[in-house]
Structure formats: structure tokens, C-alpha cells
Structure 1
Amino acid sequence: MTMVLAILRAKPEQADALEAALREVAESTPREPGALAYTVARQDGDRFLVAERYADGAARDAHFAAPYVTGLLARFPELLAEEPQVELAEVLSSFTR
């Protein structure tokens, strides 16, 4: 199992637009066969945390190739105040209640 952790800081005037775009991706992601979890959180008004889990690297790569994700990534220069911080990792232990 693999995970992605991202920290996104929106331009203050684009924070609501980024939230709406992230919610759209979160609504579409459960239809992906290898997607296991996708969480979006908002912090301090313009800072967003995204935590994702996938069955494997191929499922993660398929997610990032999905049109709704590539569309959001293309909007990052318009929406973000700084480069996103993204970390990829292999999950060693996990639970969901």
C-alpha cells in the first residue's frame, strides 16, 4: 500500500476555489479501483492537507493521470501561493474505523 501526503497553500483570494476543486477530486476518487482513502482538511484558512492511500504505485499513478486530477494540477499556478509540498511513502501499518 502506498500513500501521498500533500500540503497546499492557496492564494488567499483562491482558498475557496481550491477547496471546491479538492472536494471535486475527493468525490471522484472513490470510483478508482485502487483508491483506498482520500482525505482533505483545511487549516488556517488557506492551508490544505491532503492524505491519500492507494493499493499500489500503479493505482497512485492512475489517480494522478485521471482528467479531474490533471485538470486540478494545471490550475495550481492560478490557485497556489507557493509550490505544493508532496511526500510519497509506503504504508507500514494502518487502520480505518
Structure 2
Amino acid sequence: MTMVVAILQAKPGQEDTLEEALREVAARSREEPGAMAYTVGRRQGGRFLVAERYADRAACDAHFAAPYVTGLLARFPELLDGEPQVELTDVVTGFVR
């Protein structure tokens, strides 16, 4: 299983727009056959944490190639204050209920 964790800092005034875009990607990702989990958290100050799980690296790659994901990534310069912090790793333990 592959996990992606990203920290995104919204530009001031773009917090709600970023949240809406992340909600849309999460909803569409639910239909991907290899998507196991997709969670978005929001903190004060426009900081977002995105945690994703995929059945394998191929499913993760397919997710990031999807048009709704590439579309969001293309909007990052207008939405984010700085570069996203992204970690991709193999899951060694954990659970999802």
C-alpha cells in the first residue's frame, strides 16, 4: 500500500477556495478503484493536511494523472503560499475503519 501526506498552506483569502477544490478531488477520488482513503484536515491560518492511501504505486500514479488532480495541481500557484510539502511512502502498519 502507498501513502501520500501533503501539507498545503493557502494564500490569504484563498482558504475556502482551496478547501472546496480539495473536497471536489476527494469526492472524485472515491471512484478510483485503487484509492483506499483520502482525508483532508484544515487548521486555523489556512494550513491543510492531506493524507491519502492507495492499493499500490500504480494506483497512486493513476490518481495523480487524473484530470481533476492535474487541474488542481495547475492551480497551486494561485492557491498556495509557497510549495506544498509532500511525502510518498510505503505503508508498514496502520488501519482504516
Whether these two folds match at TM > 0.5 is yes
Deviating beyond 4 angstroms after TM superposition, the runs of 4 or more aligned structure 1 residues are none
* DSSP 3-state at the match of 1:20: helix
Deviations 1:28-52 (A, max 9, x none): 0010010000000001230000000
Indicate the structure with greater helix content.
1
Deviation at 1:88, TM superposition (A): 0.4
Rounded Cα–Cα distance in structure 1 between residues aligned with 2:82 and 2:96: 32
Instruction: Name structure 1 gaps, 5 residues minimum.
Output: none
Rounded Cα–Cα distance in structure 2 between residues aligned with 1:46 and 1:82: 12
Q: Give 1:59-70 correspondences, 5 Å limit.
A: 59-70=59-70
Q: Give 1:1-97 correspondences, 5 Å limit.
A: 1-97=1-97
TM-score w.r.t. length of structure 2: 0.98
Deviation at 1:11, TM superposition (A): 0.3
CA RMSD in angstroms comes to 0.6
Percentage of identical aligned residues: 73
Deviation at 1:7, TM superposition (A): 0.1
The number of residues matched between the two structures is 97
Instruction: Name structure 2 gaps, 5 residues minimum.
Output: none
